[in-house]
Amino acid sequence: MKLYAPSTIRDIKDRYDFQLSKSLGQNFITDGGVIDSIVEGAGIGSEDLVIEIGPGIGVLTDAAADAAARVVAVEIDKKLMPVLAETLAGHDNVRVINADILKTDINGIIREEREAGTFTGDVKIMGNLPYYITTPIIMGLLEKGVEAESITIMMQKEVADRVEASPGGKTYGALSVAVQYYCTVSRIAQVPKEVFIPRPKVDSAVLKLSLRDSSPVELTDKAVFFSCVKHGFGQRRKTLLNSLTGVCGLSKQQIGEVLDEAGIDPVRRAETLDMEEFAAIANGVADRCGR
C-alpha cells in the first residue's frame, strides 16, 4: 500500500483516532508525481542532509530518506509522532523532532548533524509548508542566515507568484525583493488543489530558492535597505517621495535629494523599482541616517 494513497491516510486516521487539523495547515499530498517532483527538484544527493518542514504522515520524508544521507523532519503536531514512528520505521537515517519550526534553531541542528558525521554533502531544506505561516517560515530562514544550499517548498500559488514577481506587476512587493535579495528563485511545479486531502481552496506551486553566495547589490547598511523596501511597499499607492519620507528619520527634502542623486523620478512608486534602484536609494538614505 502506498503511503500517499488516500486509503492509507484514512486508515491512519482511523487507527490513530487522528483528525486532520485545519489550524495547523494539514493538507496532505496524495500524488506520487508531486512527491517525486519536490524531491527531484530539491536535487538531493546521496551525501546530503535534508531538513524537512512539517512531515505530516511522512510521504516526503520517506522519499527524501531514500535519496539523502540523512533527513531531519520538524513537525509541531505531537499526535503525528507515533504515526511517523510507524511510517518511517523502514529508514535508519531519519530523525523526527517534535517542535515548532518557527522556534527551531535550524543552524544548531545542522551543526549537530555535521558533528555527528551523519552527512558529508550539502544541506537542502524541503517541505510542503503549512500555508498559514509560509512567509514567517521563509523570512525566518533567510533572515537568520540558514546555512543551507537551497529551500524547495510547496506553497499557495498566490504566494509563489509574489515571491517570484518582477518589478511592474501587482504581485511584486516586499516579499519579492526580500526573497530575491537572498536567493535565486525557480518554479519547480504547479500543483492543483485536487491532489490534497483535505482539498484546500487554492492551487499550489513548488519553488526552489537557491541561496546566493554573495549579495546581488552593494549595500552600505542592509537594515536600511529593508527599511526602505518596507516603507516603499507599506504605502504602495503613494509616490516614492511620500512613502519614503520618515525612513531613518529623513525629511521629505532629504528623500528628494536621495532620489535626485540616484536619478530616480520622485513620483514613481515602489512597485516599479528593481533591486539596484532600491539599493541606490538605500545607500543614499544610509549616508544621511542620523544626520
Is position 243 an interface residue for ligand SAM (rule: CB under 6 A)?
no
Binding ligand SAM (rule: CB under 6 A), the pick from 128, 204, 243, 245 is: 128
Is position 277 an interface residue for ligand SAM (rule: CB under 6 A)?
no
Containing H/E element for 256? Answer: helix 252-262
DSSP per position, 168-225: TSTT-SHHHHHHHHHEEEEEEEEE-GGGEESPPSS-EEEEEEEEPSS-SS--S-HHHH
Q: Which is nearer to ligand SAM, 100 or 276 (CB)?
A: 100
Site of grid cell 515571491: 163
| Cell numbers standing for residue 142 | 533567510
Q: Which is nearer to ligand SAM, 197 or 275 (CB)?
A: 197
Is position 26 an interface residue for ligand SAM (rule: CB under 6 A)?
yes
Is position 102 an interface residue for ligand SAM (rule: CB under 6 A)?
yes
Is position 62 an interface residue for ligand SAM (rule: CB under 6 A)?
no
Binding ligand SAM (rule: CB under 6 A), the pick from 39, 64, 72, 77 is: 77
Is position 101 an interface residue for ligand SAM (rule: CB under 6 A)?
yes
Site of grid cell 531538513: 51
- Grouping H, G, I as helix, E, B as strand and the rest as coil, residue 197 is strand
Number of residues that bind ligand SAM (CB under 6 A): 21
In angstroms, give the least distance from the CB of 226 to ligand SAM. 24
Containing H/E element for 32? Answer: helix 32-42
Binding ligand SAM (rule: CB under 6 A), the pick from 76, 110, 211, 273 is: 76
Residue nearest to ligand SAM (CB): 54
C-alpha 216/C-alpha 178 separation (Å) is 11
Question: ∠ CA 140-50-45 to the nearest 5 degrees?
Answer: 135
Is position 229 an interface residue for ligand SAM (rule: CB under 6 A)?
no
Binding ligand SAM (rule: CB under 6 A), the pick from 41, 49, 51, 54 is: 54
- The burial of 181, by beta-carbon neighbours within 10 Å (0-12 exposed, 13-18 middle, 19 or more buried), is given as buried
Binding piece for ligand SAM, criterion CB under 6 A, among 52-60, 168-176, 212-220, 261-269: 52-60
Phi, psi of 99 (to 5 degrees): -160, 165
Is position 247 an interface residue for ligand SAM (rule: CB under 6 A)?
no
Candidates 54, 28, 19; CA nearest to 133 is: 54
Is position 42 an interface residue for ligand SAM (rule: CB under 6 A)?
no
Binding residues for ligand SAM, rule: CB under 6 A, are 24-29, 54-56, 59-60, 74-77, 100-102, 128, 130, 133
